[in-house]
Amino acid sequence: MFVPSQKLYTAEPGLIIGFHGCDQFVRDAVASGRDVLWKSENEYDWLGHGYYFWQNNFERAFEFASHPPGKPVSERPAVLGAVLSLGNCLDLTDKKCIKVVEDIYREFSLTRFIEDKTLSTNKSIGASPDLLLRNLDCEVLEFLHAKMKRENVPPYDSVRGVFVEGKPIFEGAGIYDKTHAQICIRNPNCILGYFVPRERVAWP
């Protein structure tokens, strides 16, 4: 049986604020409870299939809503806030979780070889140097989740990753202007509530 980790510390303590870039109609419908957020199931999803949020990053969520890669530009970009509990998290800032994905890739690639199927690749869009279409990563993670389900291993509730993206913020810098933490919620029960982000007020 596949056992991803014997350690207890695979959950993020406390609650996390996440932001989802979308159209204003979607934000208002979800925040009011009239509708539910749609699960992303694109073949190029960076962290596999689920509900996507930028961790504590309103600006990147709004930027994404304003200029979604490969999608029509929204006339009314908006940001939906969410209170998240990561639960049993495949945290790709954690060495043991990285090792889980590294190991499962070997099995995935061997399976594809036996099936005489080629591996997908991660690709950039246009002139961007970043790999914005993560087909390979998505397939590997979905292969992991499917294997855990087949073997009755408790599933991951969420996946989190930190991505270095964009351009150096100054010449010779090791800090990039679009670096961010991204969260993919797999278990919808980990989304504890939605809200419309508010502006800061003067105080005192």
Mean of the pLDDT values across residues 7-26?
82
pLDDT digits over 140-155, tens only?
999 999 999 999 999 9
- Answer yes or no: is pLDDT of 7 > 70: no
| Token pair in block for residue 31 | 């925040």
User: Is the four-CA dihedral 29, 31, 34, 36 of positive or negative sign?
Assistant: positive
Contacting residues for 163 by C-beta, under 8 A, at least 6 apart? 46, 179, 180, 181, 182
pLDDT digits over 57-90, tens only?
999 999 999 988 777 778 899 999 999 999 999 9
pTM, to two decimals = 0.91
- Answer yes or no: is pLDDT of 200 > 80: yes
Of all residues in the chain, what percent are helix, strand and coil, respectively (each to 5)? 30, 25, 45
pLDDT digits over 43-57, tens only?
999 999 999 999 999
Separation between Cα atoms, residue 140 and residue 135, nearest integer Å: 9
Burial of 5 (0-12, 13-18, 19+ CB in 10 A): middle
- Using the CB atoms, write b or e for 43-61: b if 16+ within 10 Å: ebbbbbbbbbbbbebeebb
Residue among 80, 50, 48, 49 nearest 64 (CA): 80
| Token pair in block for residue 202 | 């003067």
Domains of the chain as residue ranges with CATH: 16-195 (3.90.228)
